[in-house]
Structure 1
Amino acid sequence: MGKIIAGKVSDITPGKMIKVSVDGRDILVANIDGEFFATDDSCTHSGASLSEGKLDGCVITCGWHAAEFDCKTGKLIKFPAKIRDLTSYKVSADSNDVFIEV
């Protein structure tokens, strides 16, 4: 496992989420009240990019079919069918850099 730079703290302001690509994987990084969290960016229902959806508090809503996930844990919150949770990643901030452990 290694750490990769996801971006600058100053670029991922509270309430914002971005998508980064790491080793062929798209990962969503969100800033919730100054804490950073990371999950897979692809919705487990139809593969939509979750970073193109909506972030409300710690809830990511998929823009395609409204599946809701907790960005802190990757757990599915709400959807009419049972779909897989998202993989979540450990995130740390050091100075002005945000790192994801993969």
Structure 2
Amino acid sequence: MTNFIKVATLDDVSEGEMYAIEVDGEPVCLTRVEGQIYAFTDNCTHISGPLNDGELEGCVVTCPWHGAQFDVRTGQVLRGPARQDLYTYPVKVEDNAIFISLPDEEYSE
């Protein structure tokens, strides 16, 4: 059974902006693209650059350190130097609350 944790409200996450949070010790970034909320690990898979400090254009986030790009909807690497996709979290919105599901214990980056 998947457990969802409340992490923010819809008012916290503006369209086209990134909202950094920490959930159970993990850095997570929330964003809203075309009205949809997405959640992904806030560390670039190249050398852990803080993605929330990067640029978001449409659904593409660019790491501020070395320019790696990812699709925030899927976590897919779009441009190196990163080679590993971002971990994306399942998101659920109820009323005004945003919930994400953390990975199982055996997940590790």
Same fold (TM over 0.5): yes
Using the alignment, how far apart are the partners of 1:52 and 1:36 within structure 2?
Answer: 18
- The TM-score normalised by the length of structure 2 is 0.87
Unaligned 5+ segments in structure 2 are: 103-109
The RMSD of aligned alpha carbons is 1.1
Q: Name the structure 2 match of 1:50.
A: 51
Using the alignment, how far apart are the partners of 1:96 and 1:16 within structure 2?
Answer: 17
- The TM-score normalised by the length of structure 1 is 0.93
Q: Name the structure 2 match of 1:84.
A: 84
**Shift in Å, 1:82:** 5.2
Q: Name the structure 1 match of 2:66.
A: 65
Which secondary structure state, in structure 2, belongs to the residue aligned with residue 51 of structure 1?
A: helix
What are the residue-to-residue correspondences of 1:22-41 with 2, within 5 Å? Answer: 22-41=23-42
Q: 1:54 to 1:19 in 2, by over 3 A?
A: same
Q: How many residues align?
A: 101
Runs of 4+ that moved beyond 6 A: none
Indicate the structure whose relative CO is greater, using CA pairs within 8 Å and at least 6 residues apart. Answer: 1
Q: Percent identity?
A: 35
